[in-house]
A and B are shown apart, each in its own frame.
Chain A
Amino acid sequence: MSKPKVAFFDFTSCEGCQLNKLNLENDLLALLELVDIVEFREAMDDKADYYDIAFIEGSISTPSCIERIHKIRRKAKILVALGACAVQGGVNGMKNLHPADWVKEEVYGEDKYLFPSMPVQPVGAVVKVDYEIRGCPMSTPEFLHVLKSLILGRKPEIFDHAVCVECKLKENECVLDKGMFCLGPVTRAGCDAICPTFGQYCTGCRGVISNVNEKGAINMLKQHGFSTKEALKKMQMFNALEIEN
């Protein structure tokens, strides 16, 4: 059997998810035994016509992005959205919270009419996405898990429980008890609660769980002294496209 052809593409993003993959130093060479990397602009010159698996990083934010993502979709058997920008818009989504005209003016003042732009969208809003790897940045163990599953023709495991569950398993001190804020109760697990593990609050980068009892979570935050407005605003940081102003 020939090795599956794997490609990586970046759209509007910080390229942190791709770099995180290069940070797999210890597994990188073993990984290269299993797959053929046919396109990875950030690291190599080659281009290909067909991909078994295409990993997409970043949000869709210009007309040329739309054209490019359709082209990739046509050539890809499986398309995987990689990271918060691709899956749910990530930090880029915050741009949509402000009137488009004001955003442009804030950045280039009187030259704003020179520069067309459009609202930010996640990849799934434009083409069919087969699998998602969440997080900002995506977690490398999850990436390996998904890649290995797809190579073996299995369905990767999908997380839909709260970060709190993982956080409790790690026996972390709850940051809410330290007077901090936390989005762990409403955020999808899969990161091993890495932020609370390092004493920081969960900023919700992996997106909101599907059966969110949003009001319940907000009540809980209220009990710790945070207003609904403040809580929603914090959730917007990575999830602006799902949480209206």
Chain B
Amino acid sequence: MKRDLNIKVKHLTRVEGHGNIVVDMKNGVLQKAQLDIVEAPRFFEAMLKGRNFHEVAIITSRICGICSLGHQMSSLKATEDALGLEVSRQTELLRRILVDGATFQSNTLHSLFLAAPDFLNVGSVFPLINTHKDVVLAALRLKRLANDIGDLISGRAIHPISCVPGGFTSFPTEAALKALRDKMATEGLKDATFIVDVIASLADKIPVFERETEYISVKSDQEYGFYDGLIFSSDSGSYERDKYLDVTNEFVVEHSSGKHARFNRSSYMVGALARFNNSYDQLRPLGKDVAAKLGLSVPNYNPYMNTIAQVVEVANCIDNTIELIDTVLAEGLKNEKPNQEPTKYGRGYGITEVPRGILFHDYTYNRQGNIEKANCIIPTGQNLANIDEDMKKLVPEIIEEGKEKITHKLEMLVRAYDPCISCSVHMLDVEFVE
């Protein structure tokens, strides 16, 4: 059947930031299937110019509330790289704990509060408070626990306070850290296990769809790639951080105020599923068990499964945090002054995984320690081309399902990527003709 289809979802809900889904099919031929990004511009790179190295992470944190810790980590690493500031082992351990905490907080928020309503056919998490109260409460407790990590170690989970170039400005007490550890090992793991069972029971609600693509993430031999490692492509292997521009190749498209990216193919994917595909071997035994329980194996080419990969990471992060805290406590928490005496001035790169994927910060400092040039490449921007490609393959496959169902599946697809649109448009502004 040759059919016409026209879908326009304006200001898609339950995503961070503003985007529209546009699909146009005429006579059975797909003219258009894309995610329009209509978020207002932020211009962070320009705002950073001339700011001192003490201020830079405070400013870049404000690119995105939900990824604020991740932006600080990439930012601090770029600054430390540019200024030749070494950080202590304790600083690295504490930062890894923070990264785990921020990841499982964000993954919990997305998979349970923003994506799960789709599996249960409701428009938000609020009706679930009555119908699935125990699940909502467990999810809230997990989120609180993740935020407790941020509040305790960095002063505040959103826009952390005490993470500065060269280290930390304050430290929790060992007793508080121990209490947090114990809470994670008891309540945290229990709630995570419960949530995993709930999600496993909903697994059949995840649309069946596959499109193999290139997966890019941070990768390390030592650990599941988050805080540190090389840039890794599932197509062509590892790259040093200063090669990031060769990997991202950003380009401007008219329908998006966030730039698109591509590397070996017309698009690539970043985020939990990319990490899972690239770093499965480095998952902890618990993470691997949870993956098996949820029916997720490597490699997986279904973008809807990104939400499931996030749940795997929730369990993995909790387990990992417990071990990290044990290490910090075993080595004894020292009240160290941050190392803020630059040994050089120039260009530096900071690359970490944030919940939504690989994040690049690249700064050049002048001899006064002020920013000359800054560039930030954000995960959601890197996913935008891949989302469009998925839509182009998906729409013809499900064209017989009726407009309402197609629309719903497209919304679910975009949400599965957990897009962070405020982030992705940290710089561009495009006007649309409607």
Contacts and interface: CB of A to CB of B under 8 A. Distances in A.
Contacts of B64: 14-16
A66 to B, nearest CB: 11
Contacts of A90: 62
Given A117-B41, A200-B162, A45 B13 contact: yes
Contact of A106 (B46, B59, B157): B46
Nearest to B160: A198
A239 interface: no
A107 B45 contact: yes
Contacts of A108: 252, 427-428
B143 A19 contact: no
Interface in B1-33: 11, 13-17
B143 A23 contact: yes
How would you classify the secondary structure of chain B's contact residues: helix, strand, loop or mixed? loop
Contact of B123 (A46, A117, A200): A46
Interface stretch (B124-132, B240-248, B314-322, B344-352): B124-132
A219 to B, nearest CB: 21
B325 interface: no
Interface residues of A, number: 58
B169 A200 contact: yes
How would you classify the secondary structure of chain A's contact residues: helix, strand, loop or mixed? helix
Contact of A95 (B43, B65, B141): B43
Given A23-B158, A45-B124, A200-B155, A32 B129 contact: yes
B63 interface: yes
A66 B64 CA distance: 22
Interface string B344-375: 00000000000000000000000000000000
A189 interface: no
Nearest to A116: B431
* B interface, size bucket: 35 or more
Given A12-B40, A91-B59, A41 B11 contact: yes
B59 to A, nearest CB: 6
Given A43-B14, A106-B49, A199-B170, A234 B55 contact: yes
Interface in A39-68: 40-46, 61-62, 64-65
A199 B169 contact: yes
A119 B43 CA distance: 11
A92 interface: yes
B65 A18 contact: yes
B155 A194 contact: yes
Contacts of A41: 11, 13-14
B49 A98 contact: yes
B123 A115 contact: no
A15 B17 contact: yes
A17 B42 CA distance: 16
Contacts of A40: 124
A102 B46 contact: yes
Given A16-B64, A23-B157, A115-B429, 5 more contacts: A15-B16, A23-B147, A42-B13, A92-B42, A115-B430
Lowest 7 CB-CB distances: which A-B pairs, in order? A16-B65, A44-B124, A199-B169, A45-B123, A198-B155, A199-B170, A25-B144
